Amino acid sequence: MDYGLAKVVIKDSCEKCYDCVELCPFGALGIIDGKVEQVGPCMLCGGCKALCEAIELVPLPEVKELESLDQWVGRQG
């Protein structure tokens, strides 16, 4: 799955009110088997985290594609 800018971790302390699912403007959270889970890319807006202490956002490092590896060939220390 594409996590987007962050992995959303739902802690065991989640009370299953599902307010975070309704709040997320990007559809990153959903309900699977009665539990809140990340189902789409998180854009790291922080709305869910501000709403609920049971949510932790783990920012992911930005990955950039290189147009060419030529810039790295022959480069050493």
51-67, pLDDT tens digit by residue? 999 999 999 986 555 55
Reference 29, options 8, 47, 58; nearest CA is: 8
pLDDT of residue 61: 84
Q: How far apart are CA 17 and CA 31, in angstroms?
A: 11
Q: What is the pTM of this model?
A: 0.77
For domain 6-59, give the CATH number.
3.30.70.20
